[in-house]
Chain A
Amino acid sequence: MDDARALPSRPRPRRRARKAQASDRRELLRDGAGAGSRAAVELERTWQDKPGVRGFLSANGHKTIGLRFVVTAFVFAGLAGVMGGLMRHQLATADSHLVGPDFYNQLFSMHGTTMMFLFAVPVMQGFALYIVPLMIGTRNTAFPRMSACAYWLYLFGGLLLFGAFATNTGPDAGWFAYVPLAGPQYGIGKRADFWNMLVTYSEAMGLMVAVDITTTILKLRAPGMTLRQMPLFVWASLVTSVMIIFAMPLVMLGANLVQFDRMLGTHFFNPAEGGDALLWQHLFWFFGHPEVYFIFIPALGFVSAIIPTFARRPMFGHDAIVLSLITTGFLSFGLWVHHMFATNLPELGKSFFTAMSFMIAIPTAMQIFCWIATIAAGRLVMRTPFLFVLGFFFILMIGGLTGIMLGSVPLDLQVHDTYFVVAHLHYVLLGGAVFPLFAALYYWFPKVTGKMLSERLGEWHFWLFFIGVNLTFFPLHVLGLEGMPRRIYTYGAETGWQTLNFVSAVGQVINDVGTLLFAINLIRTVFFTKERASADPWGAGTLEWSVASPPPKCNFFALPVVSSREPLWAPAAEVTHVQGLSAQIREGLTTTVIDALPDTRYAYPAPEIWPFVAALSVTVWLVWSIWSVPGFAWGLIPPALAFLLWYWPNKKEAIEEVEWEGEP
């Protein structure tokens, strides 16, 4: 079958290619042939991760990196969950002496920092890295080395933070580290320095993955997958990634300004010398509010991917949901002052942010109504992923509505910085992100591992988790109204807060049991189940289900051409696959941004050790700069060297690419 559209060739490199020799002529193997053919074997070999320790450190396949992100994120979440459990235990009784104030301060700071920076955002990015290329019909993300480097930065940042915590140097000023408490005079010791360092790591990591995903989505989609035909999860990932690019640099800037205050003696946040303590709050929350949407919007993408499959029909209001996602992303940048309503900012200005906070409910409501419409008009498959989606509806709505309450300036003046906020944030994060995350795990687990998780254990997990979350966090609304502030390590018996705190602790134990069941389900399935899942166990419509479970190393033996939103559901079009890409170098096809017309051949970089080395060198720089002022400058030399070696052109690769250039 000939490809009806000719592929335009790449512009020739300026360097003159060396003269062809007889030994150059080797057989060019192309993709597009069937799974068992010689070309297919070669294709798999080309896309395989290299073996051994060096191979492990230099892997840059999107599935490898995505999986690493998700697994590491869950480990961090487990650790932070234990901290949360300790806090609940401490607060379960009045005047408890389980932990002292200093350790408790570190506990809640670590819990928040780990969950927000080391779990919630990376796990969503990890899912995006794994699923998006499969869903858009390509073989890897656009900048795989950058995502690989991002993973190592993430790992090192997390290890350093926990290393600090293990040596009594964990941050102790809350997950948002307000100055002056985290500043040079009152932030005693090196604890806040490690927090600033983690934020730098986190921002760099998030930004790198965001740039990678944005480019992948815009340029590497299958021919025919116009923006209107793109699945909703891909839209959610695109919106999130663009938001990250705008918001993350600001928190790194802010954290570095605090670090300059702490290490170099600058006065950015010193009111006596012209600075302002409130400046930090603005800088942080301008990032901090979009941050929760980095966690929420991909979860909305999960829900939009799961509902059509389990309602056996395309999503109702697809375009409306796309517009809602974009609007939510946009509006989320205009809400940040609602975290600062108790300060002495002008009242009229604050009211503007009330209006914006209310306004953002509308696109979210639009999505919820479209989803319910899809369910109402569908035929329902009641399996675990769908159960978690239903749980998401319940818990997210409560969280969203308490969010409306918190968005009102006067009402916020009563409930700000109380357990009402703790209840709200856990409802929106657990309901709005973790429930869809579990749904996505159960949904895509067979695709990733080739085995189905147990349905029965999944149902138990769902019900225990649902009951546990409600039991743990609903009483906290009441506690906030009864006057219990946040971040207190204990309270007196005369406050009357003990009963509800105890109930909450019981709920948290139920949560733990549910999570344990999930862990058992995972381990049992991965290590002890023999039955393999088919390519499409759920009967879904998007492209990732067209390949085997788990996917071949090259994802697709021939890149697909699509013409509808659910390619596996719609009847096949005349032209179905792209032919002619190399099976011997890692090649893909770029397409135009809006209409996905074939554009150029794209040679993906081969696995290299430099992303790992670069991440290591950045670690050297950041750690050095915590201890020494000249380290800020001298420590830049290792990263400079590492990046130089990374970008150094590879002659062998260039020759291979030129060889493939003119091929049809």
Chain B
Amino acid sequence: MNGVHDVLAPAGPQALALFHLWNAMLVACVVVFALTMAVLAVALWRAPRAGERTRPDLDAHPRREATLRRSVVWGIAGSSVLLVVLLFASFFADRALSALPLADAVHIDLVGHQFWWEAHYEPNSPERTFATANELHVPVGRPVLIRLRADDVIHSLWVPSLGGKKDLIPGRESTLALRADRAGTYRGQCAEFCGYQHAKMALVVVAEPPADYERWSAAQRAPAREPATAQERRGLALVEQTSCAMCHAIHGTRARARRAPDLTHVASRGWLGAGAVENTPELRAEWIARAQKFKPGVNMPPLDAAPDDLAAMSAYLGSLR
């Protein structure tokens, strides 16, 4: 899935603080490494060569020993000072992470499942809340406070370009505060091994200008679009009457189950199956027919339907923008 997914390409203050810390530590470590290797190289270069039968040197050599002792002591002192400096750098970076101003934050409830992300925006505000899955839109410049819970096993939310990761542990609630300062698509992924399809549990964060975000969230809040064509109507009928409705919800229709990603606005998402397949009409039909082909071990069962029926369902779902 196309999206920036790089620790070294920060797009927000959290990731930026960590990027600076990374640079500082990298420089420090490279210097220490280079110095130590240089000293070793010089030692190897200058020490005379000998054989196994050369008599071992058991003499005292007080001056040489004193020089060596001084060098070692300086080395340890230098290393300790550097470590203390790095410790403070780390501590201050940590404080910077927790100092993100959270006024006017967008609140999101994220629940991690095997193998998808369930998101509820503004859960405390009944008139503004809506549900979506696997793709988050956030306004540029506004903080996002994500409450993290796990439904089954331990997962971990990680969007490297926006910040560090946080584990979702069953029975525990944690929070992650992020802010995107640049518009763009940022990829995230589950970062704690959670089973067969841990590899394909991606989360997309789309940062857009505040006006676009308001438009998007208003559209998400609305119920599903009515089907316009006969094919879409047939698709809706199939979705409601067969196994889709056993797990999925499409607000405004008779499909109201909450066990699988919310499909009310599924066509507004770029990918299906938490980043497993692109959301195009053909791939959508293939995913419905045989999700296991793309994501073996996912909980979505295969559907043995006629190609026309699959096309109808795909067309209907493709209309749910």
Contacts and interface: CB of A to CB of B under 8 A. Distances in A.
A–B in direct contact per CB < 8 Å: yes
Interface of A: 100-102, 105, 173-174, 178, 180-181, 186, 271-272, 276-278, 308, 311-314, 316-317, 320, 342-344, 347, 351, 354-355, 358-359, 361-362, 365-366, 368-370, 372-373, 375-383, 390, 393-394, 397-398, 401-402, 404-405, 408-418, 480-483, 485-492, 494-495, 537-539, 541, 566, 569-570
Given A312-B57, A417-B191, 6 more contacts: A375-B43, A376-B68, A379-B57, A380-B50, A410-B164, A415-B7
A343 B173 CA distance: 10
B292 to A, nearest CB: 11
Given A351-B94, A408-B90, A482-B7, A414 B47 contact: no
A401 B26 CA distance: 9
A411 B296 contact: no
B93 A411 contact: yes
Interface stretch (B75-83, B130-138, B242-250): B75-83
28 contacts: A101-B197, A277-B172, A312-B54, A313-B56, A342-B192, A347-B98, A351-B90, A358-B87, A359-B83, A366-B76, A369-B71, A376-B46, A376-B68, A381-B54, A390-B44, A397-B36, A410-B17, A410-B97, A411-B21, A411-B22, A414-B15, A482-B8, A483-B5, A483-B189, A492-B275, A494-B2, A495-B5, A539-B56
Given A181-B153, A379-B48, A488 B198 contact: yes
Contacts of B42: 376
Given A277-B154, A362-B80, A394-B37, A174 B193 contact: yes
A489 to B, nearest CB: 5
B159 to A, nearest CB: 9
Contacts of A492: 1, 275
A342 B156 contact: yes
A101 B297 contact: yes
A382 B47 CA distance: 11
B113 to A, nearest CB: 12
A381 B192 contact: no
Contact of B86 (A276, A398, A408, A486): A408
B192 A417 contact: yes
Nearest to B53: A539
A178 B96 CA distance: 31
A482 B5 contact: yes
Contacts of A491: 199
Contacts of B167: 342-344
B193 A408 contact: no
Given A312-B54, A378-B57, A401-B33, A485 B190 contact: yes
Interface string B177-196: 00000000001011111111
B72 A373 contact: yes
B174 interface: yes
Contacts of B172: 271, 276-278, 343-344
Contacts of B126: none
A379 B32 CA distance: 26
A362 B171 CA distance: 38
Contacts, number: 268
A482 B160 CA distance: 8
B79 A276 contact: no
A368 B36 contact: yes
Contacts of A405: 22, 25-26, 29
Interface string B142-166: 0000000000111010101001111
B165 A413 contact: yes
A316 B65 contact: yes
Contacts of B80: 362
Nearest to A488: B199
B103 interface: no
A343 B169 contact: yes
A570 B42 CA distance: 30
Contacts of A351: 90-91, 94
B29 to A, nearest CB: 4
Contacts of A178: 153-154, 192-193
B58 A411 contact: no
- Residue from A343, A354, A362, A368 having most chain B Cβ neighbours under 10 A: A343
B interface majority secondary structure: mixed
A311 B47 contact: yes
A414 B7 contact: yes
A638 to B, nearest CB: 36
Contacts of B288: none
B51 interface: yes
Contact of A358 (B86, B175, B193): B86
B311 interface: no
Contact of B44 (A366, A380, A482, A494): A380
A100 B297 CA distance: 10
Given A358-B83, A379-B49, A404-B25, A417 B43 contact: no
Nearest to A178: B154
B50 A379 contact: yes
Nearest to A340: B167
B39 interface: yes
Nearest to A406: B25
A416 B51 CA distance: 47
Given A312-B57, A342-B166, A495-B5, A381 B21 contact: no
Nearest to B164: A413
B95 to A, nearest CB: 9
Interface in B1-27: 1-2, 5-8, 15, 17-18, 21-22, 25-26
Q: Which of A379, A380, A410 has the most C-beta atoms of chain B within 10 angstroms of its own C-beta?
A: A410
B7 A481 contact: yes
Top-3 shortest CB links A-B: A271-B171, A413-B164, A488-B199
A378 B64 CA distance: 11
B169 A539 contact: no
B40 interface: yes
A569 B47 contact: no
Nearest to A185: B152
B200 to A, nearest CB: 8
B6 A378 contact: no
Contacts of B156: 342, 417
Nearest to B91: A351
B60 to A, nearest CB: 11
Q: Chain B CB within 10 Å — which of A358, A380, A404, A413 has the most? A: A413
A362 B83 contact: yes
Contacts of B197: 101
B76 A408 contact: no
A277 B192 contact: no
B270 to A, nearest CB: 12
Contacts of B54: 312, 379, 381, 539
A415 to B, nearest CB: 7
Nearest to B93: A410
B170 interface: yes
A427 to B, nearest CB: 12
Interface string B94-110: 10111000000000000
Contact of A344 (B71, B89, B152, B173): B173
A404 B27 CA distance: 13
Contacts of B215: none
Nearest to A274: B171
Given A181-B153, A394-B37, A416-B165, A380 B48 contact: yes
A404 B29 contact: yes
Nearest to B189: A485
A173 B8 contact: no
A28 to B, nearest CB: 40
Nearest to A383: B52
B5 A375 contact: no
Contact of B196 (A102, A311, A316, A538): A102
